[in-house]
Amino acid sequence: MLDLIIIGAGPAGLAAAIYGKRAELDLAIVEKEAVQGGQIIITNEIDNYPGLPHTGGFELADKFREHAEALGATFTMGEVEKIETTDHVKAYLRDGTILEAKTAIIAGGAKHRNLNVPGEAELTGSGVSYCATCDGAFFRKKTVAVVGGGDVAIGDALFLARLCAKVYVIHRRQEFRAAKTLVTALKAMPNVEFVYDSTVKEIQGDGHVERVVVTNVKTSEESTLEINGIFVAVGMLPETSIYKDIVDLDEAGYIKADETGRTSNPMLFAAGDIRTKALRQVITAAADGANAITSVEAYLNQK
């Protein structure tokens, strides 16, 4: 029986694998995608990971994976569709494989809620972004759009307004869900233009975002905004559906776990974007992986 199953091979899972192998744990990493790395593999450039400025997302993910492999970590390609915890953990994969271990780290991450409009998927990483703090610096003195009306969207627009020449804020309503103080601060920015009662119909560009077509939901009138990038902030979807009966989730569906990674189930730990947290970045995901291993070791030492 394994000491540990790590579910997900994004930055949190790979960091957990590195720390786990250094702790001489017998572990397996399960990843449903053919390429390990999580969301960062579709990020064109990462400029905020300490010591590695201007690094491609795929390149950084590859370094994480190579480090884990060099320490002896092994990967199993497959999708976990069910978890059972009795006196140990059983992970049932879609292909019929069953993995058994004393503990598991859930690091399946969260996916950004998409607009699901033409051009979005094709231009993701080439002007379409879901993280202003990750990618905003690449659009310094350029024109961008932010889609959304919550705290994240308005916070992103504020951040971008300090860097960019112009920021359009596209929102389907007149009123925002974001905190009033954030909205007031954003409305005071001279380079911000609000596009109310509107939704994105299409994102256009030849290899990179060049414009966005928006539709007014009240008049059905269409208009085109010339932009260099678009930041989508319409919510996140944590990959937690199979865990709702075995660990406590918060109202948004994230696993309730603090920086230790401990969940309501003593054999299960959570790391990365899948857990309740304020900041979802590569560096915080990697830190989560390290912290979760410390908690796993403490649990195993008690057995």
Active site members: 131, 134-135
Question: Exposed, middle or buried: residue 71 (CB in 10 Å: 0-12, 13-18, 19+)?
Answer: middle
DSSP-derived 3-state class of residue 149: coil
The DSSP 8-state label assigned to residue 113 in this structure reads P
Residue 298 token pair? 């403490």
Q: Are 285 and 271 in contact (CB under 8 A)?
A: yes
How many angstroms separate the CA atoms of 203 and 214, rounded? 9
Q: Are 3 and 103 in contact (CB under 8 A)?
A: yes
Nearest alpha-carbon partner for 167 in 148, 192, 195, 138: 192
**Which amino acid is residue 139, in one-letter code?**
F
Order of all β-strands in the sheet with 192-195: 128-129, 229-232, 143-147, 166-170, 192-195
The DSSP 8-state label assigned to residue 247 in this structure reads S
How many residues are present in the chain?
303
How many angstroms separate the CA atoms of 259 and 287, rounded? 9
* Beta-carbon contacts of residue 41 (< 8 Å; ≥ 6 apart): 35, 57, 58, 61
Question: Exposed, middle or buried: residue 25 (CB in 10 Å: 0-12, 13-18, 19+)?
Answer: buried
